[in-house]
Amino acid sequence: MNENNLKRLVYISLMTALITVGTMVIQIPTPATKGYINIGDSFIFLTAAILGPLAGFISGGLGSALADLLSGYAVWAPWTFVIKGVEGLIVALLLRKNRNILFRIITFIIASLWMVFGYYMGGSVMYGFKASFGDVPGNVVQGIASIVIGTVLVEALSRIKYFRDLKRG
Highest mean pLDDT among 4-8, 28-32, 84-88, 143-147: 84-88
- 108 and 146 in contact (C-beta within 8 Å)? yes
pLDDT of residue 60: 98
Q: Map residue 20 onto helix, strand or coil.
A: helix
Query: What is the CA angle 48-52-54, rounded to 5?
Result: 95
Per-domain residue ranges of the chain: 3-168
Chosen CATH of 3-168 out of 1.10.1760.20, 3.30.70.890, 1.10.10.10, 3.40.50.150: 1.10.1760.20
Predicted TM-score (pTM) of the model is: 0.92
Weakest-pLDDT range from 8-12, 26-30, 73-77, 131-135: 26-30
Q: Region 64-87: what's the mean pLDDT?
A: 96
Torsions phi, psi for 36 (to 5 deg): -160, 155
Spell out the residues 6+ positions from residue 13 whose beta carbon is closer than 8 angstroms to its own: none
- 107 and 154 in contact (C-beta within 8 Å)? no
Using CA atoms, how far residue 40 sits from 7, 46, 99, 127, 169, in Å, is 22, 10, 21, 24, 25
pLDDT band at residue 33 under the 50/70/90 scheme: low
Q: Region 28-50: what's the mean pLDDT?
A: 84
